[in-house]
Amino acid sequence: MGMNETLQQDLIKDLLVESHEGLDRFDRELLTLEQGRGGGDTMNTIFRVIHTLKGTAGCLGLANIEKTAHCGENLLSLLREAKIHTTPEMITTLLALSDALRGMLRTLEATGTDGKADHSVLLARLEELQKIPAAPEKSAASANAAFGLFADEDASTSVAPAAVADPAPASAAFGIYAEETTSTPTTPPIPLPATTTNPATPEPVATAEVSTKPSVADNAIRVDVGQLDKVMNLVGELVLARNQIVANTTNFDQAALLTAAQRLNIITTELQESVMKTRMQPIGNVWAKFPRVVRDVSHELGKKVRLIMAGQSTELDRTIIEAIKDPLTHIVRNSIDHGIESPEKRRGAGKSEEGLLSLRAYHEGGQVNIEIMDDGGGINLERVKAKAVSQNLITAEQSARLSEREAMNLIFLPGLSTAEKISNVSGRGVGMDVVKTNIEKIGGSIDLQTQAGQGTTLKIKIPLTLAIIPALIVTSGGDRYAIPQVSLLELVRLEGEQARKGIEQLYGSPVYRLRGRLLPLAYLNQQFNVSSPKGKTDADAQDEVVNIIVLQADGRPFGLVVDEINDTEEIVVKPLGKQLKGISSFAGATIMGDGKVALILDVVGFAQHANVVSETRDRAMLEDKTRNQDNADLRQTLLLFSVGSDHRMAIPLDMAARLEEFAPSLIEHTGAQEVVQYRGQILPLIRVADYVAGQASLGSTESETLQVVVYSEKGRSVGLIVGRINDIVNEAVTVRRRTNAKGLLGSIVVQNKVTDLLDVPGLIRTADPSFYEPAA
Amino acid sequence: MSTSKQFCTFYVDGLFFGVEVLRVQEVIRFQDMTRVPLASNVVTGLINLRGQIVTAIDLRRRLALRERAPDKLPMNVVVRTDDGAVSLLVDEIGDVLEVDERTYERPPETLTGVARQLVRGVYKLKGQLLLIIDTEQTVDLHEKNGAAHSKVA
């Protein structure tokens, strides 16, 4: 008895794996057929899938599956014999059939039986379709209104009632929307006029719980037998090498041991590569379901979309394939929903009615790039900004200052949805932020480019594998730590004088000036409370060397000071026990060449622990925004000049209308005001030195020519007398210290020197309160 | 139906402890460890057990006993838990004992503190008491309070 049960279970397992694969193939081939690209084999493949499923289900006593498959088979055999021809409606029904079968398979996996789901509506439909001869649709005319896929195609686009009435209940439960479990108001199924009174009952009970754990089909993997043979061979060699080493360690044969060690090295590397390869799967495995997704979604929305896929054979580790499945599906749906316009709109814009969605994958620099491109309307950045403001994600003021790129990144903020109408497809707040988080979780990054009217391109970069990563090995406090190479920006080594003076304190927090920008520092040994043998605090030591590892966490750089930088190595990531899971500074551990364990730093977690980046992602994002904003501000061209005794100052160059030189003798006075005649006008002069705190006018009016920066605003001009014009720079200057000093906006570092930013409007207002008043 | 159970026994700060033998994966000598900064002080470090990374927990600290003399090297009792292998650092290894279930008693009410959570019961052996510790509770460092009841394995 027990024997039989296990046998039955094994057979069911086989059936599940095979049938899921088969049904995917079924969908794919069906779509090929619909597009008119199918060859002679296409129909055979389609038929065979259902035929096999029917047969196996029959053997295992799964009556419901058998019955349903049988009904489909009848229709398919007529199609195969070309007694009837396919119609879009028929394709839809057949896709509904595969959904129904999938649903029953899922029930089978969860409960061990194929359930009692009533598919009578579907079966009736399948039978009805068999009756229709080559000339389609006459008796089913009334039903057609409900079934007809293209019924609403000419209607306005934002109306998206799923007119696919018969499969609607089934696909709502099993279809592509399965993961979006939110209880959204799905379009109520349109009552069927022609068919039975039985309102097709879906099987939500079982499926709901199944969806959380991976199904058998997801856990199984198909490996090339040749690949397995290779792994087996290598393992054999590994055993031999081990024997050799074990034998030679006892009699200390140096030469033989060395040979064995070398062999071991080679075998291990090959073995590692081979095993990795067995885990590699073509990205096409994920993409395979996209033609179906595209068809369903575009039909539902009344859009026409052509899907192009390139690079399906690009291989990725299985775990990563799993991880990108959902984000990719979401992006594809988004592209159709938000990106590609309705046929009418496209026609109006002079594009072809059929939108283009292209998926491309390729290897680049040890990473896999995936591009999802559509030729739709692009993202309306103004609308994104307005939405972000209305949802209080940013302030109106922030919004006004955002660059195009930053505005685009708003899309990745949690809670932002630009869908004006919430459709079935997207716009439920489960948005791009989740996509971004998921991609980043596996060490990837996502980048968005959009052009109004032209389309949107999303570029995703992901690592090939997660199990083995390149890492930088460092030592601190006598212990080694591994730092994943992905977060590494650069290494800085300070010696001698630099080591002693290079690191400055800012209210007790150490910083280093990296190319003019302040880099917050964290000492690994201090953060971890581990003592360093060298005694880092002893800054007077002559041979002091400071190793700074510049890392990136949440898009922000910080410097990690360690005792020693050892080497880069490929490390195998191993998980930590649950006793240590709470420590966010570590991502795992690895075993080093000498057999000792080294901890792997979680750069983001560490940065938060060390307070070098802010605690929450949202805050980091907002600060990132403002920081970027500052960057953008400061990257504008600056006019550098000095005032008085070498007081370095700067103003944005665009504030200076012209630069002039005047002989001091040209200065005249109106009342107490110094003026010059300039271009037929009277130009009032302001000696900057008189207004800036701490600077007394030197009054050297006789000897030198006066350097004047002419500032104009609304037809009025004023001349600012400065000491000397120094330079015009356009470099990335970052540090900004607010100041209360009169006439200054703050301090920045330009060309490694502290420079005050002059508050020009403030200065003018002080000198001439009426300057900004509208001309009388 | 005289039921008896086998326990792997060891000494920690003079006390005699036992863990069900089926829960013990192996007993190994002291190993070089990698300390884990920021971790609870109960965690002594990580050891490499044939490629598997195992957390070592100092039972003296876990049971709030006195610190081990620095010159004494502990032993590793590697136990199987729901979350993989964990090593318990003990002073000295005893024998595997087969004890009579009839000598079992629940810990007295006077037992308080962390011992109350971790000691599941006591076997009254000849001349000494064998304290049975709950390994799942012992390796769970997050639920330090509120778990006055002991889980019966």
Average confidence (pLDDT) over A599-612: 87
Largest CA distance in chain B: 50
CA distance A416 to A410: 8
Q: From the CA of B146, how many Å to the nearest CA of chain A? A: 18
Radius of gyration in angstroms for the set of CA atoms belonging to chain B, rounded to a whole number = 15
pLDDT class of B153 with cuts at 50, 70, 90: very low
What range defines the domain where residue A396 resides? 283-462
Closest-CA residue of B relative to A596 is: B48
pLDDT per position as a tens digit, A15-27: 888 888 888 888 8
Going by pLDDT thresholds of 50, 70 and 90, the confidence category of residue A673 is confident
pLDDT at A293 (0 to 100): 86
- A776 in a domain, yes or no? no
Name the residue with higher pLDDT: A137 or A532.
Answer: A532
Among A167, A201, A218, identify where a domain stops: A218
Q: How many CB atoms lie within 10 A of CB A292?
A: 19
| Nearest-by-CA chain B residue for A476 | B37
Q: Does the pLDDT of residue A697 top 70, yes or no?
A: no
What's the pLDDT at A91? 84
pLDDT tier, B151 (very low <50, low <70, confident <90, very high otherwise): very low
Q: Mean pLDDT throughout A548-572? A: 87
**pLDDT attached to residue B111:** 83
Number of domains in chain A: 5
Q: How confident is the model at residue A140 (pLDDT cuts 50, 70, 90)?
A: very low
> What's the Rg (C-alpha) of chain A?
35
Instruction: Indicate whether A774 belongs to any domain.
Output: no
- A479·B35 Cβ contact <8 A: yes
Q: Using one digit for the tens of pLDDT, what is the confidence trace for A59-74?
A: 888 888 888 888 888 8
Both A624 and A642 in one domain: the answer is no
B24-28: strand order across its sheet: B24-28, B75-81, B84-90, B52-58, B43-49
The terminus-to-terminus CA distance of chain B in angstroms comes to 20
Nearest CB to A596 within list B34, B54, B84: B34
More confident residue, A227 or B55: B55
User: Mean of the pLDDT values across residues B38-62?
Assistant: 90
Provide the CATH number for the domain formed by B4-139 in this structure: 2.40.50.180
Beta carbons within 8 Å of A494's beta carbon, 6+ residues apart:
A502, A503, A512, A545, A546, A547, A548
User: Do A625 and A641 belong to one domain?
Assistant: no
Residue range A595-608: average pLDDT?
88
Where a domain ends, among A218, A242, A269? A218
B residues 9-48 lying closer than 8 A (beta carbon) to A: 32-40, 42-43, 45-48
pLDDT score at A216: 61
Residue A772 lies in a domain: no
The 3-state DSSP class for residue B9 equals strand
Cross-chain Cβ contact A577/B33 below 8 Å: no
- Does pLDDT of A588 surpass 60? yes
CATH code at position A12: 1.20.120.160
Same domain, A382 and A252: no
The CATH number that applies at residue A713 is 2.40.50.180
**Beta bridge partner(s), residue A546:** A494
Using CA atoms, how far apart are residues A407 and A647, in angstroms rounded to an integer? 38
Distance CA A412, CA A425 (A): 18
Q: Spell out the alpha helix ranges (H) of A188-253.
A: 204-210, 216-219, 225-251
Q: Are residues A34 and A46 in the same domain?
A: yes
Distance from CA of A266 to the nearest CA of B (A): 19
Mean pLDDT within A559-568: 91
Look over chain B and give the mean of its residue pLDDT values, rounded to a whole number: 86
* Nearest residue in chain B measured CA to CA from A531: B37
Element housing A435 (H / E) = helix A432-441
> Nearest-CA distance from A128 to chain B in Å?
56
Q: Are residues A162 and A200 in the same domain?
A: yes
In this prediction, residue A625 carries a pLDDT of: 43
CATH number assigned to the domain comprising residue A298: 3.30.565.10
Q: How close is the nearest chain B Cα to the Cα of A585, in Å?
A: 8
A727-to-A39, A218, A273, A719 alpha-carbon distances in Å: 72, 64, 57, 18
Q: Are both A564 and A612 inside the same structural domain?
A: yes
Query: pLDDT > 90: what percent of chain A?
Result: 5
Whether A583 has its CB under 8 Å from any CB of chain B: the answer is yes
Asked if B37 lies within 8 A of A528 by C-beta distance, the reply is yes
Q: Do B34 and A599 touch (CB under 8 A)?
A: yes
pLDDT at B75 over 90: yes
Query: Three-state SS for A431?
Result: coil
Percent of chain A beyond pLDDT 70?
77
Instruction: Encode pLDDT of A192-245 as tens digits.
Output: 443 333 434 443 333 333 344 556 656 667 777 888 888 888 888 888 888 878
| pLDDT in the model for residue A695 | 54
Q: Which residue in the set A529, A530, A597 is minimally distant from B53, CB to CB?
A: A597
Give the chain A residue nearest B47 (alpha carbons). A597
- Has residue A315 been placed in a domain? yes
Distance from CA of B99 to the nearest CA of A (A): 31
In 3D space, the residue among A201, A147, A207 whose CA is nearest the CA of residue A169 turns out to be A201
Look at A580 and B52 and tell me if their CB atoms are within 8 Å: no
Amino acid at site A339: G
Whether the pLDDT of residue B90 is over 90: the answer is yes
Q: Do A475 and A445 belong to one domain?
A: no
Whether A546 shows a pLDDT value over 60: the answer reads yes
The pLDDT of residue A218: 62
pLDDT score recorded for residue A365: 63
Query: Which residue in A652, A641, A558, A673 sits closest to A605, CA to CA?
Result: A558
Q: Residue B17: its pLDDT value, please? A: 95
- Phi, psi of B58, rounded to the nearest 5 degrees: -80, 115
Asked whether residue A212 falls in the same domain as residue A232, the answer is no
Residue A770 burial (CB count, 10 A) = 9
Q: Are strands B75-81 and A355-364 parallel, antiparallel or unpaired?
A: unpaired
Distant-in-sequence, close-in-space partners of A201: CB < 8 Å, separation ≥ 6: A117, A118, A169
CA distance B149 to chain A (A): 21
Q: Within a domain: residue A747? A: yes
Q: Does A577 touch chain B (CB under 8 A)?
A: yes
CA A69 – CA A23 distance, rounded (Å): 11
Domain boundary among A583, A605, A630: A630
- Assess whether A542 and A656 both reside in one domain: no
Looking up tokens 């107490």, which residue turns up? A672
pLDDT, one tens digit per residue, over A4-50 is 777 778 888 888 888 888 888 888 888 888 877 777 788 888 888 88
Q: Would the pLDDT of A191 be above 70?
A: no
Q: Is the pLDDT of residue B15 over 50?
A: yes
| Structure-token pair, residue A73 | 């088979």
Burial of B83 (0-12, 13-18, 19+ CB in 10 A): middle
Q: Is A775 among the domain residues?
A: no
Residues A255-263, mean pLDDT to the nearest whole number:
82
Residue of A363, A299, A264, A253 lying closest to A153 (CA atoms): A299
Confidence of residue A549 (pLDDT cuts 50, 70, 90): very high
Q: What is the pLDDT of residue A698?
A: 52
Confidence of residue A733 (pLDDT cuts 50, 70, 90): low
* Predicted confidence (pLDDT) per residue in A736-752, tens digit: 666 666 677 777 777 77
| Least confident residue range of A205-214, A684-693, A714-723 | A205-214
Could you tell me if A199 and A316 lie in one domain? no
What's the mean per-residue pLDDT of chain A?
75
Asked, for residue A533, whether it belongs to a domain, the answer is: yes
Q: Any chain B CB within 8 A of the CB of A609? A: yes
Q: Which of A426-435, A532-541, A544-553, A678-687 has the highest mean pLDDT?
A: A544-553
Nearest C-alpha in A relative to B37: A528
Instruction: Say if residues A357 and A294 touch (Cβ distance below 8 Å).
Output: yes
pLDDT on residue B134? 92
Give pLDDT, residue A619: 40
In a shared domain, residues A204 and A269: no
Residue B44: the pLDDT is 93
Cα dihedral across residues A603, A609, A613, A614: positive or negative: positive
**pLDDT for residue B7 is more than 90:** yes
Q: Are B57 and B138 in contact (CB under 8 A)?
A: yes
The verdict on residue A773 lying in a domain is: no
Substitution target from A580, A594, A600, A606 for chain B, most B beta carbons within 10 A: A580
Q: What is the pLDDT of residues A329-388, one digit of tens each?
A: 888 888 888 888 888 888 888 888 888 999 999 887 667 889 999 888 887 788 788 878
Task: Check CB contact under 8 Å for B35 and A579.
Answer: no
